[in-house]
Structure 1
Amino acid sequence: MKTNPVTLILVFLFLFPIARGFLFKFSSYDLKRDTENLINSISFIVAIFIGIRYYKVIFLNYENSKIYKFIPSEISSILASKPYILYFIIIPIFVYIVYKLISVVLNLIARYTFFNIYDVLDRIISNKSNTVKRIIGAVVQVPRAVCYLVTVLFLLNAVAIINPSMKINSYLKDSKAYNYLCKRIIIPVTNSSVAKSFPNILDNSFKIVTKTDSLNKVGNALKNDDNASNVEDGNSNVIVYYNGVTLDEGIRSNDQINNFARSLTSASKGNLNKARKLYDWIGYDIDYDYQKANMVLNNNYNVKSGAIPTFNTRKGICFDYSCLYVAMARANNIKVRLVTGEGFNGTSWVSHAWNQVYVPEMGTWINVDTTFAKGGNYFNNGSFNIDHRNSKVIGEW
């Protein structure tokens, strides 16, 4: 079994400074130089933390941000429509300023505290054996090893979100070490206070399967499917299944859903407000179904997908959220689309589904992602395309 190269890199970066400390033994002079380098690394990491944290708070979750109201509307509109200006200009400048301030303060503190402690420790162990000096040398390098690891995690995460090659993305998804550390270090930082609410989307748990009419079944769940709609594909009829059901089956509604959707928006005026009301209800009242996601991830389609089972159970995964939104939008005579593509789950790009609705008042289609709603504002968000890509409209009503 081949070892994932991303995992190898992470293990090497963590063990290298510890091994180096063991080989070269403890030295007060060397530790002072290492401390200066460590302070610079810590300052850099903290600056990244602050930069990414406040970017998320201000620009991706701006409706709940108190800071956002102090930014002129003209500037915020430009930044929202062109989010990469933040990534490549504003955030790097901010990070550098914070980095320099933190490094100056920490270096002053270290010179008058830790450096004196190192000198005392050096005198204490001067007569000790080389083994003791090697062990102490290894132990004092652990903080540096952690800094190396965190820095590379941030770099890999940045590479993943800025449209990486498919090969790199596959290595990141397959690395258990990378995913484990990202979910405990990177995601809580990049998503700030909303991290606990953001659904932990499981890998590619949204599956699209195309079958010819001679192979038109997907596992036991599809053997008796009489509702599949045929699509012409060249000279062959094909059937497209989304998590085990056809699109028509997925968006199918009933009187209960239709009546509820209309009553939910009865006090709302205009399609924009009605669409937002539906987004809020689905986004916050439907829970992410991790058990179902695991089943689909393992190609087990013996599950119920679509608007009706999601409304009844109040649980689903991205395709279910999107189907229910279609059903409830149609009940309100709102033009709606179902879109497939990829979403960034905090560690890598995975298959995903969301919606678009047409707003006559604005004369345009807007993006809506109810699955991500608990992680921030994903209703007509100008930064929507940062963590959504390769969109394809598969249905419009």
Structure 2
Amino acid sequence: MITRLNYITLLIVFVFLISLIQGIKRGLSKSAFQLSQVIQDIIINITAVIITWKITNWLSPKLQNWMILKSIQIPSEELNVLEKGYYIVLTSIRDFTFIRFILIFLVIYLLIQFLIMLLFNLVFLNLIRTMKMMNGRKQSKSEIPLFISQLFGGFIGVIFGLAKGLIVILFLFIFVTLFPQTPFTSYIQSSTLYQSGTEKVLQPISQNFIETTLPVLAKEAEDEYNEVLQRKYEIIDHNIPDNIVEATHVIVKDLNTDEEKAKALYDWVGTRVQYNWEKVRLYEEEKVWMEQTPEDTFLTKQGVCIDYSRLYAVMARTAGLDVKVVTGLGYDGRGGMGAHAWNEVYLSETNEWIPLDTTWVSSGGNWFNSNDFYETHIKDA
């Protein structure tokens, strides 16, 4: 019988029973006080969210316009770690709507919540003290029969239990919405209490907002997070050494289109740089990572996938191309997938981003915008 029980249902029941037992043990006065505190917190938080939402919607585009007008430029000289982090954060706030909105919202929300709570305590707590003084002596707990106190405390505990149970169902509902294909999702949906909570309470209240909007927001957040990862390499490798600049100009000197330049650099990096198996061995066996710059890769002509990709990126940018360093998984030749990095470059002639993998040039095959490229490459998500 135990193996047939749905543990999601048991979890919801357990949360409800804990609140009921707590209500009975606390009695009327303590439970009522806790309820009043919860109601106060709900009022403060809802008010803070509404005010913050309106301020953020108004402020976010204005902040972006101001940052664009300030023309934030990444210095050409070598940056230290703190400076690199500063420009990654600053340019991400300027360029990515979702990230900017969330950061502004969090800062303003904390400030508004503090101010509302301060005002609430100053006004309402003084009012409560005045009312207590007018009512005279506070009724003692002994004047309320224990059974009545426990009964009403249990009733308040039921209210808390239902609310907490719905919160549990809400988090499960969000998980199911974001990850609909997992085995755990099917298990959650098999719970009768979960089904009742979503069908009779959450869906009517939200009017399918969570199901329709949350996945879209999650996708936007994921896309912008990946763009921030890309921005990291743009900042780190912003300072391009003269020797790489000179070599790039020689390679693309007589070429006109973005595709010709991108293909020439793909061939040059892929055939000049040799894969550094010793670097891989040190990392896998001794957990030692040999960090290297694009200039290190250019001079030594050795590196692993991330080194190929970063070198290609700085050369492509030197040639006037828009380029990304993409991380994810790549086919390992043994039936599995392993950590990998490659590039995407923008072709203005066709108005599209195309993938290319300079690391795999030496292994044969066409890895410059091949039709089956993403059969062997999976982007981070």
> What's the TM-score, normalizing by structure 1?
0.38
- Tell me which protein shows more helix as a share of its residues: 2
- Tell me which protein shows more strand as a share of its residues: 1
Q: Which has the higher contact order (CA 8 A, sep 6+)?
A: 1
Q: Which has the larger radius of gyration?
A: 2
> What's the TM-score, normalizing by structure 2?
0.39
